[in-house]
Amino acid sequence: MKIFSYLRIFLLPFSLIYFIAIKIKKLVYTSDFLRKIFGIEIFCSKIPVICVGNIRVGGTGKSQIVLELARKFIEKKQRVAILSRGYRRKSKGFFEVTSLDVEKFGDEPVLLKKNLPNAKVFVSENRKLALKKINEEGETDFILMDDGLQNLKVHKDLTIVLIDRNFFSKNLIERFLLPAGNLREPKKKIFDYDFVIYNKKFDDLEIPENDEKGFVISEYCFDSFQDLEGNFVSLESLKEKKVGAFCGIAQPVSFQKLLEKTQIFPVFFKTFPDHHFYDEQDCKLLIKFVKKFGCNHLITTEKDIVRLTKFQNEFKRAGVFLYYAKITAKIYSEENLIHKILCLKEK
């Protein structure tokens, strides 16, 4: 992996081209004159749009933050619509998430709908078209857009950029723009957005107070463990069991740290690619691991479990008990953020 990282240095000329391209694009979209020449129209939603995104590729915990913000609004009797791209879904076009069909809607939108049955969740690869349709439908007070900070075709009323420990990394790939590095934009661009949320996940850092510059801290919090039927399983009972663990998320280390933080130490930890669609062979591999290490209890994430539902009988027949960790994001001193969003309704 280190060799691969250093080889990416040879892509630096393409990163320069990428930088010039985003500069030109920004210039065109921010100039009335150039927009008229190229026939570009920026869509302005009548319903306030709050965009939650990041400046790097890879997971920073956007969906958990979107989920938590939506919960806050619903608690305040606000009607919320969530718009996601539906990454890795096998369908195309605009859909409202009406079932837990992961292949049609994608794992993250399904996870959002599962936890927020009273919110409307939509998927579309075309944000502009999707926002138009949501506006036509009405019946919502706020639109939470999961990702899309770099999409200049739509106006956002409030922008939230997420960063994590990778933002402070001295690793070369965390310092350069695509394709040599992981950055979609230069790091200094975070100050162009309304709020910066540092998602510390499970890092042991002191939690500062929210300041006037819109810097907010969040962290992952353990909520519960559940089985495939949704029954709660006590943490103490899992500590006493010999368990294995697996996940297919962007940063599996975060999940591993959760387990360690809760004093659960799996005898094996198997990782899959982010948004991985599990198949029968994957299930057989996991069952093989279980037998090899002499355990019959498996733990994964809630995001993974929505991709595994149709294979639950495979595990049952093999005598394997499958559990998932329900994880929430706690946003510290979020009052200023929530207040500014609610004020958007008055404009």
Backbone angles phi, psi at 114, to 5 degrees: -60, -40
Cβ contact 111:275 at 8 Å = no
Q: What is the pLDDT of residue 61?
A: 84
Cβ contact 108:133 at 8 Å = no
Q: Extract the tokens encoding 259.
A: 């387990």
Q: What is the pLDDT of residue 214?
A: 78
The segments of the chain whose pLDDT lies below 50 read 207, 210
Residues facing 96 on adjacent strands: 122
Q: What is the pLDDT of residue 3?
A: 57
Name residue 313's amino acid. Answer: N
Name residue 342's amino acid. Answer: L
Distance CA(119)–CA(97), nearest Å, equals: 10
- What is the model's pTM? 0.93
Residue 52 CA, chain-centre distance (Å), reads 9
Domains and CATH numbers, the chain: 2-199 (3.40.50), 221-327 (3.40.50)
Q: What is the pLDDT of residue 230?
A: 87
Q: What is the pLDDT of residue 241?
A: 93
Q: What is the pLDDT of residue 210?
A: 47
Distance CA(28)–CA(43), nearest Å, equals: 15
Q: What does DSSP assign to residue 56?
A: B
Going by C-alpha positions, the residue among 128, 143, 124, 177 that lies closest to residue 345 is 143
Distance CA(130)–CA(148), nearest Å, equals: 12
Q: What is the pLDDT of residue 229?
A: 87
